Amino acid sequence: MHGVYAKSTMAKWAWTILHSLAIFTVGWLLLGSGLAHLPAWLQPDAAAGNHLRRWLLFCCSLVLFIRMIITGFVFLRRKFGWDEAVVVAIWLWIIHLTFALLGGKESSPVGWVDGVALALFLLGSYLNTASEWQRHRFKKRPEHQGRLFTDGWFRYSMHINYFGDLVWATGFALLTHSPWAFLIPLIMLLGFQFYQIPILDRYLSQRYGEEFEVYAATTNKLFPSFKR
């Protein structure tokens, strides 16, 4: 709910608990005996999964969990309703389980492709969290109240945080070695382009007026440009 500010403490805690259950489930699947207990049609090669890859997949899920806690309790100042908490929690479950189930059975040894995958995951995580942190520090200063943040990583893309999401999700998908995993970043891209960005841009245009229009006219929407 853009423009409505509230702590939404209970909704955030409920969402965090639901998210933590997803992490425990991923840990059980990847590091415990979870994959072996799944139906054969779902995981016929579960026993052949690479152990190091499973650990890397779990660590990526854990990093995502920690980042989401920081986002929810530090960066997110607007109202976070119960309906949004449930939808986001379900989407996070889908992300974690998809990557765990698809990557957990992959038996190939960890190699250079996985190094690229991890680099993308870390880069995207950094872009998302660092850009949010830059904006958070800017907004905390009294003299910046009512001002649009266009500095830092947001100089290169109006929604660099969303671009970071696409990068880490692509790296996460690559780590599974399954082409089906790339449906996750594809769905995210479509959601950003046709739903989240248009809604957010309408709100920003109404709130910041000419300041936003100048910013929008000189800055890429999603994919960054370093020509500025």
Element at 111 (helix H, strand E)? none
CB atoms within 10 A of CB 227: 6
pLDDT, residue 80, reads: 81
Q: Mind listing the pLDDT tens digit for each residue in 169-201?
A: 999 999 999 999 999 999 999 999 999 999 999
CB half-sphere exposure, 8, CA atoms < 13 A: 23
pLDDT, residue 133, reads: 95
- Which token pair is 91? 């989407």
What confidence category does residue 81 fall into, taking pLDDT thresholds of 50, 70 and 90?
confident
CA distance 31 to 93: 17
What confidence category does residue 40 fall into, taking pLDDT thresholds of 50, 70 and 90?
low
Predicted TM-score (pTM) of the model is 0.91
- Matching residue, tokens 């309408």: 202
What confidence category does residue 226 fall into, taking pLDDT thresholds of 50, 70 and 90?
confident
Q: Look at residue 35 and tell me whether its pLDDT is greater than 80.
A: no
pLDDT, residue 146, reads: 82
Name the more confident of 226 and 82.
Answer: 82
Q: What is the mean pLDDT of residues 99-103?
A: 93
pLDDT, residue 48, reads: 63
Task: List CB contacts of 131: < 8 A, sequence separation 6 or more.
Answer: 152, 153, 154, 160, 161, 164
Q: What is the mean pLDDT of residues 195-212?
A: 92
Q: Are 228 and 156 in contact (CB under 8 A)?
A: yes
pLDDT, residue 41, reads: 54
What are the distances in angstroms from CA 114 to CA 27, 128, 155? 20, 21, 30
pLDDT, residue 228, reads: 56
What confidence category does residue 211 fall into, taking pLDDT thresholds of 50, 70 and 90?
very high
Q: Look at residue 64 and tell me whether its pLDDT is greater than 70.
A: yes
CA distance 138 to 14: 29
Q: Mind listing the pLDDT tens digit for each residue in 119-171?
A: 999 999 999 999 999 999 998 888 888 899 999 999 999 999 999 999 999 99
- Which token pair is 168? 């880490």
Going by C-alpha positions, the residue among 166, 164, 144, 143 that lies closest to residue 154 is 164
Q: If you write DSSP's letter for every residue of 3-64 in order, what string do you get? A: T-B---HHHHHHHHHHHHHHHHHHHHHHHSSTGGGS-TTT-TTGGG--HHHHHHHHHHHHHH
CA distance 83 to 77: 17
The chain-wide mean pLDDT, for the chain, equals: 90
